């Protein structure tokens, strides 16, 4: 079997695609693996917020078109960038073992959040991160930040910001973990759904390919991913909504925690559920419904109205 991987061209996307390629090359049924690097609208339009141009789905649309056209067989994604509702005809056939779920605080000269001066400028275009930063430090200014990891780090080095927030997993995968000043615990900052997870997408009707990809699927990660993505789906939240969630497995039990917050940190709703790990996805739905009963729907509607 020959497999062509559609991937974005950023250093992190290529690292992830090559990581999957190495795993595929170890399978006896796979003869060769080739990368098909593509540019996406999400990578090309950097002067507008993702909310304004269509959300994080813009990072994967061109990759799906390549699969539909027969130019690629699979696409490799950061699962936090994949919309909770998959397009018809596509599926996530496998997820790899979750890497670091945490958000990383990258301060100039190793500065940590508590040491920032009043009114410090922090770069982040994520409403989820903004809301939780504002809960911890209402005085800081959150300013938009787009681009790949190296672009964001260079803007910090150039003095555009006093600190920036990035996914720890991305920095670690690129060997840039020395930039991390502190890692937030889930109590401080809940991550995005499936943050740190690499997913493999393919056409849903390709049974032979799906059977091969199943060998790469990490079951515990699939369960936590299902729980976390069920929350986003039930809340009808986009990848840019101020929704955070984290699931943890302990033996045969899973604990799922989620947060919905106003971007300015003025209001937040947080809740958790626990149950059998085999009920992971249902527990995510249950938690989302509890959040809705506590007013999460109205809060998200206010956020949508104020952010266009």
Domain ranges, residue 288:
232-307
> How much is the pLDDT for 43?
52
R_g of the chain computed on alpha carbons? 19
Average pLDDT of 120-129?
A: 95
H or E element: which one contains 270? strand 268-276
Same-domain pairing of 7 and 73: yes
Same-domain pairing of 88 and 60: yes
Q: Please indicate, yes or no, if residue 61 is contained in any of the structural domains.
A: yes
List pLDDT tens digits, range 149-200: 999 999 999 999 999 999 999 999 999 999 999 999 999 999 999 999 999 9
List pLDDT tens digits, range 260-279: 999 999 999 999 999 999 99
Q: Please indicate, yes or no, if residue 226 is contained in any of the structural domains.
A: no
Percent of the chain with pLDDT over 70: 93
Instruction: DSSP for 205-231, please give it.
Output: T-HHHHHHHGGG--HHHHHHHHHHHHH
* pTM higher than the cut 0.85: yes
Of 122, 157, 183, the last residue of a domain is: 183
Residue whose C-alpha is closest to residue 273's, from 242, 297, 294: 294
List pLDDT tens digits, range 208-261: 999 999 999 999 999 999 999 999 999 988 767 899 999 999 999 999 999 999
Contact 146, 169 (CB under 8 A): no
Contact 103, 168 (CB under 8 A): yes
Domain at 282, CATH number: 3.30.160.40
Cβ neighbour number for residue 160 with a 10 Å cutoff:
14
Tokens 């100039």 found at: 108
The total of structural domains in the chain comes to 3
- Residues with a catalytic annotation lie at 81
> How much is the pLDDT for 307?
73
Same-domain pairing of 90 and 206: yes
């Amino acid at each position: 079997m020959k497999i062509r991987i559609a991937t974005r061209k950023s250093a992190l996307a290529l690292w992830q695609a090559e990581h999957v390629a190495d795993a595929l090359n170890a399978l006896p049924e796979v003869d060769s693996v080739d990368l098909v690097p593509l540019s996406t609208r999400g990578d090309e339009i950097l002067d507008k917020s993702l909310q304004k141009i269509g959300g994080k789905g813009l990072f994967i649309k061109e990759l799906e078109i390549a699969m539909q056209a027969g130019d690629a067989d699979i696409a490799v994604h950061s699962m936090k960038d994949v919309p909770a509702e998959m397009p018809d005809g596509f599926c996530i056939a496998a997820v790899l073992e979750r890497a670091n779920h945490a958000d990383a605080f990258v301060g100039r000269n190793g500065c940590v959040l508590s040491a920032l001066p009043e009114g410090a400028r922090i770069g982040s275009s994520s409403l989820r991160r903004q809301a939780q930063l504002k809960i911890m430090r209402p005085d800081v200014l959150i300013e938009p930040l787009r681009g790949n990891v190296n672009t964001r780090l260079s803007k910090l080095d150039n003095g555009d910001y006093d600190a920036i927030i990035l996914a720890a997993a991305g920095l670690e995968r690129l060997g840039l973990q020395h930039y991390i000043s502190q890692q937030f615990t889930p109590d401080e900052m809940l991550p995005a759904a499936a943050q740190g997870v690499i997913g493999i997408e393919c056409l849903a009707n390709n049974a032979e390919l799906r059977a091969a990809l199943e060998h790469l699927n990490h079951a515990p990660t699939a369960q936590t991913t299902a729980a976390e993505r069920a929350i986003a789906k039930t809340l009808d939240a986009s990848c840019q909504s101020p929704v955070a969630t984290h699931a943890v497995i302990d033996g045969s039990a899973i604990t799922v925690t989620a947060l919905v917050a106003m971007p300015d940190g003025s209001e937040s709703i947080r809740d958790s559920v626990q149950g059998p790990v085999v009920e992971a996805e249902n527990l995510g739905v249950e938690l989302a419904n509890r959040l809705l009963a506590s007013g999460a729907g109205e809060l998200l509607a206010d956020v949508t109205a104020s952010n266009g």
